[in-house]
Amino acid sequence: MQHMVKPVCILCLQCSLLYGVHLAAAVAAAGDGNGGDQFAYSGFAGVKDLTLDGTAMVTPDGLLELTNGKPQVKGHAFHPTPLRFEESSSPEGGEKKAAVRSFSASFVFGIVTASPGVGGHGIALVITPTKDLSSGLASTYLGFLNRSSNGDNRNHIFAVELDTIQSPEFSDIDDNHVGIDINSLVSSNASDAGYYDDNTGEFKSLTLVSGKAMQVWVDYDDDATQIDVRLAPVGIKKPMKPLVSTRSNLSTVITDEAYVGFSASIGTMTSQHYVLGWSFGVGTQAPAIDMDKLPKLPGRRSKKSYPPKTMVIALPIVSVVLVIVVAAGVFLLIKRKFQRYVELREDWELEFGAHRLSYKDLLQATERFKNKNLLGIGGFGRVYKGVLPTSSSEVAVKRVSHDSRQGIKEFVAEVASIGRLRHRNLVQLLGYCRLKEELLLVYDYMPNGSLDKYLYSHDDKPTLNWAQRFQIIKGIASGLLYLHEEWEQIVIHRDIKPSNVLLDNDMNGRLGDFGLARLYNRDTELQTTVVAGTFGYMAPELALTGKASPLTDVFAFGAFLLEVTSGRRPVEQDIEGHRLLLTDWVFENCSKEQILAVIDPRLNGNINISEASLVLKLGLLCSHPMSNVRPTMRQVVQYLNGDMPLPEMSPMRFTFSLSALMQNQGFDSSLKSLGTISNLSIGR
């Protein structure tokens, strides 16, 4: 009995404590009367009626968490009901819009990161006609505007931004500023974060990304049509001198009824954005926030989890049970694990001895496949960075799972022969190691990663200039020519795409992963998924017959050329979910002599027109649905080097749209049936 009662009591206590917190918060928020002209939240515990979307949530501690530290996210939080901003004595039936009344807002926020001073995007207090900001973009757009709406007077958005990245496109002054935004992310006025000391008048700098709570005051005076914004660390009273001001009659900006809330976003650099307390008043001062009731910001070390208190009690009990279970399990596991990680060596492997690496060395090289050494998850398995203990050279170790019973002998023979391939545009395979269910392939390490990262990086990462792109294109063509024609056997790559092109120290392109697709092509079950995984690079005849040839590689290379030049993927979906084929789009523009329209806008027009136009036309020729029209890789290299002129592309040759032709060949139907599978596949 004793044992039964005790835990129940503790839980009860827990509950009543939690309720206590809820009640306090509810009382604090009750300032929001029927008039809806003012409200105050001193912490958000138990506040249920905020309108939240994206990553925004209220934590059990009562913090309003707008973003969670994941890259490329946004979160919005709104007071549920709109506030009336217009003058109450609004002229009846008048055409003239009523004037917006004075208002005042105050909030306490905190931006937390793993390392202070280093963080991404920011928070904005927003006043908008709608609670639906779903069309706002993350990152630089702070979650409330987008490329087309930025700067548009019809937005009717007023915002005060706390921005922690300098975006030159919005003329940001630095990466730590407070700005007043009227319908635009180009601030009407902005200032480096800080405050003017009331006693000395001295400016004191503050770091927004500090993990410390700070308070912001926003005041609009309808007589002076002036907006004043102030900032100070929590505990310092509202400074007399504003940090930043601007003059604007907000009557033309804020709608008669408008919603007030927060928008926050993250780009590639991450932070967690929190609001601790918030008050607002229209036609009156914002009510005071009760600083004693505010929740605590999470510290740096306790990264981002809020273990409920019940867990603290349950933990010891759970751990004891766990220890017993684990002890029992370990016995069985060890037995199995040893079997699984036992290196397999058989007599037939002796002839490949030179390429055989020991599992022990690879474990040491990758620090037992530690997550921090994970370079990525590719089409065939995880790839880890490592340093070989024998030669201290940097390597990439790929773990490919396999079924030991099937075709492994042939595969190892192939790996060994691949190991003899040597070309400066191929990623060198150094060796392999074989376990029961896994094959470890060891390659040269490529410090600059894969090409797709440069083509599709979202904001801050520099893209490649045209000269670099052209050099990569020429390199890959030469590597492919070597595989097709210059080695003792014909090697078909089968998986040409930017994520399989790696960049070495000098930004030369090198093909990786060759021959691997073949392993799986033997295995009928996996065949379709792998083929579909690289869908968009797949020649029609390959989709129909499943038979790869040098010309199916040429087709994929054509898609690759268009992709590198246009910065678009070979198959994209429009808003209505229709598939758009890059070849169609390029062909259409090329036939209208609008080559420039398809060049990657990130190049800002800095291209060599004749090279770019050659590459695009060659891309179309290589991706021709009829294989006999495609050039060989030898011809491709000659065209690219200017040793041979590209055959004139008479419109007759492309009289019909490529996708129409594909449809005639039955490609479209096979494409549809593959569609569902492609979602499962590993892709990019």
Ligand X SMILES: *[C@@H]1O[C@H](CO)[C@@H](O)[C@H](O)[C@H]1NC(C)=O
Cα 537 to Cα 684: distance, rounded to the nearest angstrom: 13
- Strand 438-444, strand 429-434: pairing: antiparallel
Amino acid at 205: S
Minimum distance from CB of 247 to ligand X (Å)? 6
The answer to the question of whether 398 is labelled as a binding residue is yes
Under the binding rule (CB under 6 A), the answer on residue 146 touching ligand X is yes
Minimum distance from CB of 309 to ligand X (Å)? 42
Cα 243 to Cα 234: distance, rounded to the nearest angstrom: 16
Distance of CA 670 to the CA centre of its chain: 31
Within 43-147, strands assigned E span: 51-54, 57-58, 64-68, 74-78, 83-84, 103-112, 122-128
Q: Which is nearer to ligand X, 158 or 667 (CB)?
A: 158
Per CB under 6 A, the list member of 189, 263, 500, 552 interacting with ligand X is 189
Cα 329 to Cα 287: distance, rounded to the nearest angstrom: 59
Task: Look at residue 209 and give its three-state secondary structure.
Answer: coil
Q: Residue for token digits 């932070």?
A: 271
Per CB under 6 A, the list member of 26, 135, 333, 629 interacting with ligand X is 135
Cα 594 to Cα 612: distance, rounded to the nearest angstrom: 12
Minimum distance from CB of 277 to ligand X (Å)? 25
Q: Which is nearer to ligand X, 149 or 670 (CB)?
A: 149
Ranges within 196-235 binding ligand X (CB under 6 A): 223, 225
Q: Which is nearer to ligand X, 189 or 659 (CB)?
A: 189
Residue 559 backbone dihedrals phi, psi, to 5 degrees: -60, -40
- Strand 394-401, strand 177-182: pairing: unpaired
Structure tokens at 332: 């069985």
CA distances from 652 to 368, 397, 598, 649 (A): 59, 49, 22, 8
Interface segment toward ligand X; rule CB under 6 A; list 101-109, 143-151, 273-281, 522-530: 143-151
Under the binding rule (CB under 6 A), the answer on residue 251 touching ligand X is yes
Rg (CA), the chain: 31
Helix (H) or strand (E) holding 272: strand 272-282
Interface segment toward ligand X; rule CB under 6 A; list 245-253, 355-363, 456-464, 469-477: 245-253
Distance of CA 662 to the CA centre of its chain: 33
DSSP state of 375: E
Q: Which is nearer to ligand X, 240 or 467 (CB)?
A: 240
Does the CA dihedral 55-58-59-64 come out positive or negative? positive
Cα 178 to Cα 160: distance, rounded to the nearest angstrom: 7
Per CB under 6 A, the list member of 88, 89, 148, 199 interacting with ligand X is 148
Residues 272/92, Cβ–Cβ less than 8 Å:
no
Give me the helices (H) in 188-308, please.
Answer: none
Q: Which is nearer to ligand X, 171 or 319 (CB)?
A: 171
Residues 273/111, Cβ–Cβ less than 8 Å:
yes
Q: Which is nearer to ligand X, 243 or 556 (CB)?
A: 243
DSSP state of 239: P
Per CB under 6 A, the list member of 58, 127, 244, 365 interacting with ligand X is 244
Residue 166: Cβ within 10 Å count: 14
Under the binding rule (CB under 6 A), the answer on residue 393 touching ligand X is no
Minimum distance from CB of 249 to ligand X (Å)? 4
Q: Which is nearer to ligand X, 242 or 381 (CB)?
A: 242
Per CB under 6 A, the list member of 38, 183, 246, 681 interacting with ligand X is 246
Cα 431 to Cα 389: distance, rounded to the nearest angstrom: 14
Q: Which is nearer to ligand X, 178 or 276 (CB)?
A: 178
Positions marked catalytic: 495
Interface segment toward ligand X; rule CB under 6 A; list 42-50, 145-153, 199-207, 468-476: 145-153
Per CB under 6 A, the list member of 51, 81, 245, 638 interacting with ligand X is 245
Q: Which is nearer to ligand X, 332 or 575 (CB)?
A: 575
Structure tokens at 192: 């480096």
Minimum distance from CB of 289 to ligand X (Å)? 23
Per CB under 6 A, the list member of 211, 242, 298, 479 interacting with ligand X is 242
Under the binding rule (CB under 6 A), the answer on residue 534 touching ligand X is no
Distance of CA 252 to the CA centre of its chain: 37
Helices (H) and strands (E) in the chain, counts: 15, 27
Interface segment toward ligand X; rule CB under 6 A; list 237-245, 312-320, 452-460, 482-490: 237-245
List 112's β-bridge partners, or say none: 272
Minimum distance from CB of 233 to ligand X (Å)? 19
Minimum distance from CB of 109 to ligand X (Å)? 20
Interface segment toward ligand X; rule CB under 6 A; list 144-152, 291-299, 408-416, 452-460: 144-152
Q: Which is nearer to ligand X, 223 or 648 (CB)?
A: 223
Interface segment toward ligand X; rule CB under 6 A; list 242-250, 349-357, 458-466, 467-475: 242-250
Under the binding rule (CB under 6 A), the answer on residue 249 touching ligand X is yes
Residue 195: Cβ within 10 Å count: 24
| # binding residues, ligand X (CB under 6 A) | 15
Under the binding rule (CB under 6 A), the answer on residue 149 touching ligand X is yes
Distance of CA 156 to the CA centre of its chain: 29
Structure tokens at 507: 């930004």
Minimum distance from CB of 169 to ligand X (Å)? 16
Minimum distance from CB of 223 to ligand X (Å)? 6
Minimum distance from CB of 259 to ligand X (Å)? 14
Interface segment toward ligand X; rule CB under 6 A; list 75-83, 240-248, 380-388, 576-584: 240-248
Per CB under 6 A, the list member of 99, 313, 363, 661 interacting with ligand X is 99
Report the interface residues with ligand X, using CB under 6 A. Answer: 97, 99, 135, 146, 148-149, 189, 223, 225, 242, 244-246, 249, 251
What residues form the annotated binding site for ATP?
A: 398
